[in-house]
Chains A and B, each alone.
Chain A
Amino acid sequence: MSALDELRQLRHGSVQVRKRDNKAAFWFLAPWFAGLVFITVGPVLASFGLGFTKYNLIQPPKFIGFDNFVRIFSDERLHNALRVTFTYVLVSVPLQLACALGVALLLDRGMRGLAFYRSAFYLPSLLGSSVAIAVLWTQVFGAEGLLNRVLGFFGVEGKGWISDPDTALSTLIVLNVWTFGSPMIIFLAGLRQIPAVYYEAASIDGASRWSQFWRITLPLLSPILFFNLVLQIIHAFQSFTQAFVVSGGTGGPSDSTMFYTLYLYQQGFSRFDMGYASALAWFLLLIIAAFTAINFWAAKFWVFYDD
């Protein structure tokens, strides 16, 4: 069963689960489930409690009511972190998906060495959030980096792109766009699901490639696009490593790469204010939940399910 079929069935609640499968699945899932309960759920619940305390990591937490949550509204550096994070999410995700779709369309036309290209384009998304790539980025966008050498070739004088607050965030956006591989693979799978007869019928009727894309491909691909959008937005909100490595953990210069998660981390582990950090974590959960809810609501107007 393809992913697309499954999506359709899920939507109509027509997935019939067989009991025996269920049991086997349980055993296969058990190790993961144990990990989830003990390593994830426990600390997550604990962090909810810590959100109402003053806790410096060493002495026992002190209950302070809603103080940490109230502080969220007056913390100017946090508001800046929110601005940075929103900019990052709202700019990089659409660009990334556009790239992913564009490349998927090219690859879908079938060419020699398709498997190679597919892997080559996918590779960055495996590495994208790794420390190694973030280090590479500092080499590319540094004052004596690759970009400036290329620019120098054309007589343009560069600068330290990462160490200038006007351009530092843009380099991270480029990094995120560059890792378009995983949505691209999903788009490719989706494109394969669109029956060729639609295109044949359209071209007999004289439809141009352009209108075929708008009237056939995009509507039929919209569930996949929606899926990618939801996932990548959540993913982008949680970005941490890139900013941490590129800025040496400071979120600088001038807080210009201060992602929400990085700010949260600094509150917990540099300022030893784990209570506030916990409150921030829950606030981030609210933000992501709100974004996802809006996404699902808006989906009614543009996602088309071909029944």
Chain B
Amino acid sequence: MFRGVGRRTALTVLVSLTASLLAACGSGSDAGGDLTAEPVTLRFSWWGADDRHKRTQQVIEMFQKKHPNITIKGEFKEWNGYWDSLATTMAANDAPDIMQMDELYIASYAERGALLDLNESKKHLDTSNFDQKALATGAVDGKQYGLPVGLGMYSIMVNTDLLAKYNIPVPDDTKWSWDDLKKIGEQVSKAGGGQVFGVQSPGINDAAGLSIRARQQGKAMFDAEGKVVLPQEIARDYWQYILDLAKSGIAPSPSVTIEKASAGLNQSATATNTAAFGLWWNTQLTALTAASGAKLKLLRLPGETQGKAHGAYYKPSMFWSVSARSKHPAEAAAFVSFLANDEEAAKILLTERGVPANMKIREAIAGQLKETDKAAKEYLDTVPVSDPPRITPNGASTLDTILKRHTEDVLFGRTTPDAAAASFIKEVQAEVDAAK
């Protein structure tokens, strides 16, 4: 008898403990409710380099001054570590409240239910100054899982100092072709005598180069349903091009190419002045100019006038997303709104995360931009584009690593461009199917 009572008491205590714990968990606000006056701590994580950390920290302090009850804890990492840690913290139900999100991963996280539909916090998050097309890039199935931060465009960056040194004129980029790039690259490599190369090989770190080739032919990597529709010939020609660059010495040897690409921006051939042409995001102009110390210029992509459509498009450089499990979604949304709409904040952040997607902010900071930032903005404002591709579907967030492995296989002669193309398409499709 006594034991029975003892057990029941224990059970009661346990139940009430659990209940109070649950209640404690549930004390957060809901996404559409009012902002609390209670002290709140939000975690905010992003990837990037030192310059970004400094600017972001300043903006966090500005926000905290306006909202003394809200503390924002910034967490930052480099790109690879960022995604590893996001995957593990999500699994542990310990994800940051606000996170910097990428196009590659947004569908994977959204479709697994990890992200908040920002429309639920419309009350705190002003999106009125965003172009609808730009907003749509952060939506999956009509739900706004990410607010685009900045826009970027793929471009060819040319080192004009190197060209001047070798007496090679800067090419006319309004109607140049991929073959023209090869030809001028060959001239540079010849003049460079094994120290300086014409082109830094694309296709190592991301799939955008391949996507652009497909778009110029009026094709795409994925269709609206997320099925892989990339024609095999386009992928084959893409890898054949890269292989030709390596074989003819227009690009450095494969092992050097792979090593430089993995070592990060500061060790890239463009940053170390060892290649005259490279495929980069236009917004990386400032960082690369600083790293190389040379004069760099943004050129339009080759092949834009020979094909059926413009390969170029506005790519949201990143998004602000809020965790679906955040205990304070309203406050998190308010912070995102501050990042996206506050002019003072924008004057610190400038174009470091891309040319602002918020049109009003873009104009507000125009006067403060450095020469290279201005060039990046001008590129975005003037170069013709077509509609952006579908965002990377759920399951295909490994797209870039699959592409890189195939590029390596081709460069080191372990497979032919044709076999690589077939294998790549098959593997990406399998990834998309597996996530369903």
- Identity of the chain B residue whose Cβ is nearest the Cβ of A165 in the assembled complex: B412
1/0 per residue, CB under 8 A from A, across B382-419: the answer is 00000000000000011001001100110010100000
B255 lies within 8 A of A252 (CB): no
CB neighbors of A among B73-107 (8 A)? 80, 83-84, 87-88, 90-91
A248 lies within 8 A of B262 (CB): yes
A270 lies within 8 A of B256 (CB): no
- Identity of the chain A residue whose Cβ is nearest the Cβ of B112 in the assembled complex: A58
> Chain A residues with Cβ under 8 A from B431's Cβ?
271
- Interface segment, one of A113-121, A156-164, A198-206, A219-227: A156-164
**Alpha-carbon distance A159/B411, docked complex (angstroms):** 14
**Alpha-carbon distance A104/B409, docked complex (angstroms):** 42
What distance in Å separates the Cβ of A15 from its nearest Cβ neighbour in chain B? Answer: 42
> Chain B residues with Cβ under 8 A from A143's Cβ?
255-256, 259-260
A272 lies within 8 A of B414 (CB): no
B83 lies within 8 A of A254 (CB): no
A248 lies within 8 A of B80 (CB): yes
Question: Which of A161, A162, A163, A269 is B84 in contact with, Cβ under 8 Å?
Answer: A269
1/0 per residue, CB under 8 A from A, across B54-86: the answer is 000000000000000000000000001001100
A272 lies within 8 A of B255 (CB): no
> Chain A residues with Cβ under 8 A from B260's Cβ?
143
- Identity of the chain B residue whose Cβ is nearest the Cβ of A141 in the assembled complex: B259
Give the interface SS of chain B, mostly helix, strand, loop or mixed.
Answer: helix
Confirm or deny: B254 has a beta carbon within 8 angstroms of a beta carbon on chain A. Answer: yes
Confirm or deny: A166 has a beta carbon within 8 angstroms of a beta carbon on chain B. Answer: yes
**Alpha-carbon distance A162/B431, docked complex (angstroms):** 28
Question: Which of A58, A166, A250 is B114 in contact with, Cβ under 8 Å?
Answer: A58
Confirm or deny: B253 has a beta carbon within 8 angstroms of a beta carbon on chain A. Answer: yes
Contact A253/B258 with A59-B112, A165-B412, A271-B431 known, Cβ cut-off 8 Å: yes
Confirm or deny: A212 has a beta carbon within 8 angstroms of a beta carbon on chain B. Answer: no
What distance in Å separates the Cβ of A215 from its nearest Cβ neighbour in chain B? Answer: 48
Confirm or deny: B282 has a beta carbon within 8 angstroms of a beta carbon on chain A. Answer: no
> Chain B residues with Cβ under 8 A from A247's Cβ?
262
**Alpha-carbon distance A91/B259, docked complex (angstroms):** 25
A270 lies within 8 A of B83 (CB): yes
A252 lies within 8 A of B112 (CB): no
> Chain A residues with Cβ under 8 A from B397's Cβ?
270
> Chain B residues with Cβ under 8 A from A269's Cβ?
84, 87-88
B408 lies within 8 A of A165 (CB): yes
**Alpha-carbon distance A247/B112, docked complex (angstroms):** 29
> Chain B residues with Cβ under 8 A from A163's Cβ?
254-259, 262
A164 lies within 8 A of B112 (CB): no
For the complex of A and B, the 3 pairs showing the least CB-CB separation, nearest first, are: A160-B255, A163-B259, A163-B258
Q: CB within 8 Å of A: which residues of B?
A: 80, 83-84, 87-88, 90-91, 108-109, 112-114, 253-260, 262, 397-398, 401, 404-405, 408-409, 412, 414, 431, 434-435
